[in-house]
């Protein structure tokens, strides 16, 4: 699985946080992993599963910090007002920008914009890009 595909799957799992309580997230992660079983085959599949699980859990543990950083730069659009898709994409990108040194900031922003084009509205890509540019 490519890094882009992994990021796409992390986005899908993170999107669930908007609809479930924090204590439900371990169960949601297990259900998500069950859905992905067809994608995980052999040793490489196990590594992908571990990467997804670890990254999702780490992002869950940093949600408050991520939202604070987003709220600092998003004048007029606090996290509580953002679309759930845009917010999830921005959280993922901010996490990568702050905690994954092996991913260049420009790559995190570009990938977030691509996710916004794929899953968001017509305005999502520019909105996501604008917020992330302020955080870069």
pTM value > 0.95: no
Each residue's pLDDT expressed in tens, for the chain with a length of 136 residues: 788 988 998 998 888 877 767 677 677 777 777 776 666 666 667 788 788 888 988 998 999 999 999 999 988 888 889 999 999 999 999 999 999 999 999 999 999 999 999 999 999 999 999 999 999 8
Range of the domain at 115: 3-135
What is the secondary structure of 73-120 as a DSSP string?
H-TT--TTTS-HHHHHHHHHHHHHHHH-TTS-HHHHHHHHHHHHHHHS
Domain count across the chain: 1
- Give the distance from CA 8 to its chain's centroid: 8
CATH number at residue 61: 1.10.940.10
């Amino acid at each position: 699985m490519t890094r882009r595909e992994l990021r796409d799957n992390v986005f899908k799992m993170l999107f669930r946080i908007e609809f479930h309580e924090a204590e439900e997230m371990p169960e949601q992660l297990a259900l998500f992993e069950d859905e992905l079983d067809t994608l995980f085959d052999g040793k490489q599949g196990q590594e992908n599963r571990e990467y997804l699980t670890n990254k999702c859990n780490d992002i869950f543990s940093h949600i408050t910090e991520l939202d604070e950083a987003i709220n600092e730069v998003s004048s007029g659009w606090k996290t509580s007002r953002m679309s759930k898709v845009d917010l999830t994409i921005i959280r993922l990108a901010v996490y990568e920008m702050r905690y994954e040194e092996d991913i260049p900031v420009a790559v995190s922003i570009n990938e977030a914009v691509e996710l916004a084009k794929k899953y968001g509205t017509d305005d999502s890509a520019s909105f996501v890009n604008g917020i992330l540019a302020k955080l870069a």
